[in-house]
Amino acid sequence: MRGKVNLAEKLASFDETWTTKLVGELNGQVVKLAKTEGEFVWHTHAEEDELFLVLEGALDIHLPDEVVVSLAPGELYIVPRGVPHKPVGNASVLLFEPATTRNTGEVDNEYTIEAADVERI
């Protein structure tokens, strides 16, 4: 995909929570949007870093040892590869990660979406 992407329009095109939507690709990385509501699942990406940028709302990234990184609109956090984490909150989020990243890492649950199955919007 080349050209301008209007994030507000893309976010308005879906209501599902904890479902990522592909909005761009570059150099083996993907740009995704997601809406969050409540708690996700604890998971780890063994080989990939994961960037969370909050566009609207608030998101807490829970990390080991009861560490919580709280994000407001315009703030981002990069979860290093191999670090367990659990996103919690009500937010619209932009994610930047390798194209092969599975949203729940090695965990299988109701939120799992294989990297190849992420919908492009």
User: What pLDDT score was predicted for residue 113?
Assistant: 86
DSSP conformation class of 100: T
> What CATH class is the domain 7-120?
mainly beta
List CB contacts of 25: < 8 A, sequence separation 6 or more. 1, 31, 99
The structure's pTM equals 0.92
pLDDT tens digits for range 59-102: 999 999 999 999 999 999 999 999 999 999 999 999 999 999 98
Domain residue limits, the chain: 7-120
pLDDT tens digits for range 8-33: 999 999 999 999 999 999 999 999 99
